[in-house]
Chains A and B, each alone.
Chain A
Amino acid sequence: MTASTDTTADRERAPTLEPIDWEVVASERDAHRARVTARSLVTAACFLGLLAAWAFDHVARASHEPFLTLATGVAFLGEDGVLTASPSHVDWLFGLTLLVGVRYALVPLWENPRLTRYYWRRIARNRLGVYSLYFLAGVFLVGLIGPLVLGDPEPQWDLGHTPPVGFGGTFAHPLGTTRNGEGILEIVVAGARVSMQVGLIATTISIGLATVVGTTAAFVGGRVDDLLMRGVDLLMTFPTLFFILFLVYIYGGNLFVLVLILAFTTWGGQARLIRSEALQRREEAYIDAARAAGGGPWYVIRRHVVPNVSNTVVTGATLLIPIVILFEAVVAFLGFGDPSVWSWGRIIADGRESLASAWWVSTIPGLVLFLTVLAFNFLGDALRDALDPRHEVNRGR
């Protein structure tokens, strides 16, 4: 490589190659392999740990006692400073989703700080996107921690409707109460958890399905492609909401089932998108190179196709989350949701009866839902601009 900077006068002199110390290369390679192995082990341990905890939770312990009791000594936390957790199936699945998120999103970002900074700079050009990210991080943390701190909404039958602070209410119930005296704040916080859980879990499953189907169809091609895409066509002839309601009718509206239904009914569009993206990638030289180097089809899909469609996947996922959240809210609003869970849709429906006398019951949770969905859409748009080079054309020159 040094040859190119030589002057024309030195052309005759043979270029010298930098000697390679193969021992150093080998040791670096070994170190890298060790790191990769260690990471795989840690990942596997985390997943196994989660599985074991779930198994213990559902087999070993009696259902009425909490899974985890944590005496914090801080009086206002939980009941007399004792935090208890009794995770449901959905909570466990949420844990799994978060673990997947950490392993396949945060860890790679952490390990490639340069790339992370590059993407961040590109996203940061869209201020609305950045504010949305902060807002959503807030909603996420509130949903994760809030219910532990505030506890479940407790009815106070004698209290009845009380307005929010600033409209004649008290700080005991800053956002007012329902007809049954349940605090709107507690309900909104509980609803934040439900929305985040539904949004993240269902989207993860849905995008996972879409990625598998999309890349497989594109890469295997032929009959498999035809069959898979015809299946997607068929799935997409069902107007999604009607399909969801029909499945809820058959299988019931328990949150765990609803999450699976939402995941199963929403992956079609993304699968198409990922397929077309992967089809373009398939033509590129590095795929041929990987094949020529002896990579089997699954290896090539996993190592070369999937990472290169990941921008599409990330953007698609971000824009799918608000759709899923809205579907869950609609199902809950119509009264087909899980009656044991405080969803934003459910509280909005509850407030309808007393709309004129207690406007805050419907409007406040609705506003939070609206802002959450809006923030996801802004963030998705910012991500698309930042990650999808094809949209460059339309950006400012």
Chain B
Amino acid sequence: MTDDSLLSIRDLRAQFHTDEGVVRAVDGVSFDVGRGETVCLVGESGSGKTVTAESITRLLATPPGRIVGGEIRFDGTDVTSMAEDELRTIRGSRIAHVFQNPQGSLNPVYSVGAQIGEAIRAHRRVSRRHARARAIDLLESVGIPDPAARVDDYPHEFSTGQKQRVAIAMALACDPDLLIADEPTTALDVTVQADILDLLASLQAERGMSILLVTHDLGVVARLADRVVVLYAGTVLERADVVDLFERPAHPYTRALLECLPGVDGEVEPIGGTLPSPIDPPDGCRFAPRCPHAIEECHAGGRPPPSTVGDDHVASCLGYHREYRGAIDLERHPTAEETQRVSDRPDAGIDGGGPR
């Protein structure tokens, strides 16, 4: 996008070494996050969205994971080539993370105040007392009642939703420019989910930070996102403004995803087949084995290049490519027979899994 975007990822590739072979978890992902903007990374589990998110500050467990190519520019500097020490000054201070599982993201043997204080003192030269006072402020700002009394409590004394609030407080400790939230509400009860999403929205409004939200939940996307990046099997299939995406989804996969949403027209239409093998991905479009519109050309060659389908709206599908525009009729609703053909394809049944 623009040069002044806060985060700019170009052709990112990350791999995992396993007993079965090399898993290409992220295979050429590009997108940008502007200042003050909320971008959602959407995809099924195994699509590489978490690996992408954790590559940004190189939190990826190495080994077995490894960033093998591409560029991650944060505020103009390339993170992939940064020394570990330099990277540490960014982690927690300018880019903060919130993870999916609030039960596990707090260390059970330290009080929440100590863990928030630790995040502050990792980057600011302040006294313990000062850090504690700041921790109380932060707890208050994420909506923990009576923060002065609770700051010395241990994680097990908080509910799951409150733990996630504490984790968010910890992430905000040094006023980051970018907050990466990886499925922050997936492990929570539905009622609590809404609270946390509201909290994130209001915090962003207050602080003007950017948020990169990783989720598989289109409801979350609709609620928070400014722009959306749709990931599939380690590749980007579509990038669009959130309204555009819901109103005019371009890629067959995105359309299928939206079909999965209950309540649109009453009928829920599951996508046939499963994710392709991440070790030996198919040629051509990664989604082709499951795509009811796929033609011969979709199964061969490299991945389809991104085509502009609208204002700041890009889809990687041959259906929008000049040469094939006539051959593929994306507007035609697939017949039952075509849907069946997709779920019967032998390679559609391989369990993708991805790195656990």
Contacts and interface: CB of A to CB of B under 8 A. Distances in A.
B20 to A, nearest CB: 9
Nearest to A5: B344
Interface in B311-337: 336-337
B19 A8 contact: no
A397 B339 contact: no
Given A397-B64, A397-B355, A9 B336 contact: yes
Most buried by A among B17, B18, B340: B340
B125 interface: no
A394 to B, nearest CB: 13
Contacts of B18: 396-397
A8 B16 contact: no
A63 interface: no
Contacts of A7: 336-337, 340
B256 to A, nearest CB: 16
B337 A397 contact: no
Contacts of A396: 18-19, 64
B356 interface: yes
Contacts of B19: 396-397
A9 B337 CA distance: 9
Nearest to A10: B336
A397 B336 contact: no
A8 B356 contact: no
Interface in A344-397: 396-397
Nearest to A8: B336
Interface in A1-25: 7-9
Is the contact region of chain A dominated by helix, strand, or loop, or is it mixed? loop
A396 B339 CA distance: 38
Interface of B: 16-19, 64, 336-337, 339-340, 355-356
A8 B335 CA distance: 10
B340 A397 contact: no
Contacts of B64: 396-397
A8 B339 CA distance: 9
A121 to B, nearest CB: 12
A235 to B, nearest CB: 32
Given A396-B19, A397-B18, A397-B19, A8 B355 contact: no
A46 B17 CA distance: 52
Given A396-B64, A397-B18, 15 more contacts: A7-B336, A7-B337, A7-B340, A8-B336, A8-B339, A8-B340, A9-B336, A396-B18, A396-B19, A397-B16, A397-B17, A397-B19, A397-B64, A397-B355, A397-B356
10 contacts: A7-B336, A8-B336, A8-B339, A8-B340, A9-B336, A396-B18, A397-B16, A397-B64, A397-B355, A397-B356
Contacts of A397: 16-19, 64, 355-356
A391 to B, nearest CB: 15
A124 to B, nearest CB: 13
Nearest to A7: B340
A348 B339 CA distance: 76
A376 B337 CA distance: 59
A7 B344 CA distance: 11
B336 to A, nearest CB: 5
Contacts of B337: 7
Nearest to B63: A397
Query: Which 4 A-B pairs give the minimum distances between C-beta atoms?
Result: A8-B336, A397-B64, A7-B340, A397-B18
Nearest to A9: B336
A2 to B, nearest CB: 15
A8 B337 CA distance: 9
Contacts of A9: 336
A8 B338 CA distance: 11
Contacts of B356: 397
Nearest to A6: B340
A9 B336 CA distance: 7
A53 B355 CA distance: 59
Contacts of B336: 7-9
Nearest to B64: A397
A90 to B, nearest CB: 45
A396 B340 CA distance: 38
B355 to A, nearest CB: 7
A9 B340 CA distance: 10
A397 B21 CA distance: 10
A9 B338 CA distance: 12
Contacts of B17: 397
A236 to B, nearest CB: 27
B176 to A, nearest CB: 30
A148 B339 CA distance: 73
A118 B24 CA distance: 28
A356 B19 CA distance: 51
A241 to B, nearest CB: 35
B193 to A, nearest CB: 28
A39 B124 CA distance: 75
B61 to A, nearest CB: 9
A225 to B, nearest CB: 26
A7 B343 CA distance: 10
A250 to B, nearest CB: 46
B54 to A, nearest CB: 15
A396 B21 CA distance: 12
